[in-house]
Structure 1
């Protein structure tokens, strides 16, 4: 039997696995049965990233299609503009709260099972939104958008799955590739409003309901793709490779399937499974690196959500057509995801803090452009929404890099789940308050508040810089 050696003295030993080894097996010292079988880790990481990129495209169509019409449908059903932000708020809130069971599921069963569950819950939410449009029920719409938020949880958690097996020096780029893959689906989604109206008419549904049909289809396809191709599971594999080796090497064993490896790993008591978000919150507070990452993704997301969810209402007040609104939102989403690989490259080369500060500057400019734009369509608003997405991308990639770098392998699911929970709850509150601010003060005040919030992130990043490490 041949042996493939892994240097356990290196901080990330598994990327050093000899590329000539095609299948590896880590053996439990308590018995002859293998507890992990996996392909060469380098090849597995490549396949994992490609699979996640595919699911992000499909999931991106679903998320963006629903988000583009949620506020408009809420205003139409409720008859009140000040309630329009609740549809997006419940979507963000639902995504945040559903992070708790999804993180626990990932800790126990791995990334694949958790991502599948999240996409299928999102599908159910899209179906309820269609039913709410047909019945004219505002409470049912809010329930649907809350469950729909699980799809955002899936897309968010996928970025961490991309770096479970990543080499530290390439962590930012590989994380950003999965973020970038959302571009195609997310830009396409809002521009499906026109075809969605035609589909709704053919199905005898209200015009805005057609977008939710595309959402449901995208989520189902994403769940199928993850179930078929995300094997062996990257998180379970990373945990097993972090265990002390039973011998000096890793023996080669040509296993015919990857599925038993996932099942055996999930049952192995030696593999860490700390899935509680309470434990994750404690771990966040204990690490300055993870804390800065969490604060970064939270504030960046809060600013983006608050301004973005009220932009369709701001444009509708100026009698902009739904297709024009969809175009502006699609350009915003292009800014969010299109240049993510650049943010990832800069994060790997220059570090997270400079990218965070750059993102802060972009967010401030974006909020000021939005605040000074006229109602309806304007070039300034288009530029502001694009930059709003770009600033979010910088804070999301750099902040997520800090979270991935600072979390121990046995704590990853709980730390990343807690971070996304904090981010989601904060953004949900911001989305709810955004509607009130616009109703009573105006869209310009909302933009000004967003700029001040982004500046606060910049100050915190500067103050805490010396305590942050990214190894």
Structure 2
């Protein structure tokens, strides 16, 4: 078929622009994710301990995680919808800033001893968590089909630096809080406030041109160049079955990871570990959540989405077994269990994200991504809220083992929802 050289030239210019902006986008997202990682680490590390201290009971100590993950569900919905209309930049920037405001509210609640204010502030703080996750999609907006795992994983790798540093600053931040007249356990939220606001400002100022808006324009150019004109007719393509598979992977891995992670600091404190030990375990866990993205993205692109998703379920089962069988005073085995927990979550998030991106196009992608991240956040909220109740009745061992077994449920679901194009994506075809 004859190809118009003018159209070919326009496509070449669009491709060159795509590659240039994708590289710049990854740089900006990496910087924001370093800051965002430090912000999210506060709630993970001491949120449950702060609630236990203020409530005087560990039965509801999983409630903070439930609240800020519930808040992240609302934020994921709003960020997804705003991205569809205005692009990634505004949604991500204001999501991080809202998270910073929530962190300030947590500090104020701790100073005032106000439990209602604490709950409201934790809900708002959850916006930072949702935004931190949504930023991974910015890394994949302009990626070619065989590099989508890599694009999203690079955005996640950057989170490692801040997320690992945050928990290991618990002691010095506690000292800073004491010097300021703030309760010790509120110290990490001072860091979270500054880090989240800084991340939002970086995105607002430097994420130009907007990667999603550019990806949508490039897709529209391709639609106009399509000889049959069908794609240019204005109809929004249907979401592919891979989106359901990706959503299942990410929802189940989030549920299991949050439930076990939330109760680990409470379990450790019950066995007389100090805050430094808690910070070490959670820091190693968060490192295992994000740092493997250096290679996970490449594995997802090379080995396939489905094998890595199945590996996620198996790894989470191993994490549950190790956590359930570890003696209460064994710091080494708790570190191993939580690192396996983070690794399994990482496999699930990267492979699930790639499945969702593969199954969507720019016209429906942000709305679909936002909806799925709402489900992810709600699963985390349920896991965090119920984890304290389960631990009170079945113990930490029962919680850990039950979570590991639950993770295996994703395997039969994946086999049923197996997308038809998984094996061909590395060759650049989607169906």
TM > 0.5 fold call: yes
Q: Name the counterpart of 1:261.
A: none
Matches within 5 A, 1:68-467: 68-244=45-221, 287-465=240-418, 467=420
**2:18–2:215 Cα contact (<8 Å) kept:** no
What's the CA shift for 1:204?
1.1
In the TM superposition, what is the alpha-carbon distance from 1:322 to its structure 2 partner?
0.6
Compare the two structures and name the one with the higher helix fraction. 2
Contiguous gaps of at least 5 residues in structure 1? 20-39, 249-269, 275-279
Deviation at 1:425, TM superposition (A): 0.7
Per-residue deviation at 1:247?
8.4
- Deviation readout 1:250-298 (Å, 9 max, x if unpaired): xxxxxxxxxxxxxxxxxxxx99899xxxxx9xx6xx6321100000011
- Deviation track 1:313-345 (CA, whole Å, cap 9, x = no partner) reads 010100100110010000001110111121110
> CA separation of 1:213/1:14 partners in 2, compared to 1, >3 Å: closer, same or farther?
farther
TM value normalised by structure 2 = 0.91
**Closer, same or farther: CA 355–204 of 1 in aligned 2, 3 Å:** same
TM-score between both structures, scaled by the size of structure 1: 0.84
Q: SS state of the match for residue 122, structure 1?
A: helix
In the TM superposition, what is the alpha-carbon distance from 1:4 to its structure 2 partner?
9.8
* Cα displacement string for residues 56-89 of structure 1 (whole angstroms, at most 9, x for unaligned residues): 0001001102321100000000001011100111
Which stretch of the first structure deviates more once superposed, 236-245 or 417-426?
A: 236-245
- Does the residue aligned with 2:182 lie in a helix, a strand or coil? coil
Measure, in 2, the Cα distance between the counterparts of 1:128 and 1:246. 47
Partners of 1:120 and 1:219 within 8 A in 2: yes
| Separation of aligned partners in 2, 1:82 and 1:14 | 59
In the TM superposition, what is the alpha-carbon distance from 1:377 to its structure 2 partner? 4.4
Aligned counterpart in structure 2 of residue 56 of structure 1, from 13, 33, 38: 33
Preserved CA contact (<8 Å) 2:139 2:151: yes
- Deviation, 1:459, is 2.2
The alignment's C-alpha RMSD in Å is 2.4
Shift of residue 111 of structure 1? 0.3
8 Å contact from structure 2 (residues 141, 212) kept in 1: yes
Q: Equivalent residue of 2:142, what SS?
A: coil
Question: Matches of 1:110 and 1:55 in 2, distance apart?
Answer: 17
Deviation of 1:462 after TM superposition, in Å, equals: 2.8
- Contact kept in structure 1, 2:43 and 2:65, CA below 8 Å: no
Note the alpha carbon deviations across 1:100-150, whole angstroms, 9 max, x for none. 222221111110000011011101100110011111112211111111110
3-state DSSP of counterpart to 1:354? helix
Q: CA 1:61–1:189 in 2, change beyond 3 Å: closer, same or farther?
A: same
- Give the Cα separation in 1 of the matches to 2:202 and 2:334: 37
Q: Distance in 2 between matches of 1:45 and 1:5?
A: 24
CA contact (8 A) 2:293 2:346 kept: yes
Deviations 1:398-421 (A, max 9, x none): 000000110121111110000000
- Provide closer, same or farther for how the CA distance between residues 231 and 4 of structure 1 changes in structure 2, counting only shifts above 3 A: farther
Change (3 A) 1:455 1:7: farther
Q: Structure 2, unaligned stretches of length 5 or more?
A: 226-231
What is residue 44 of structure 1 aligned with on the other side? 21
How many residue pairs end up in the alignment?
A: 416
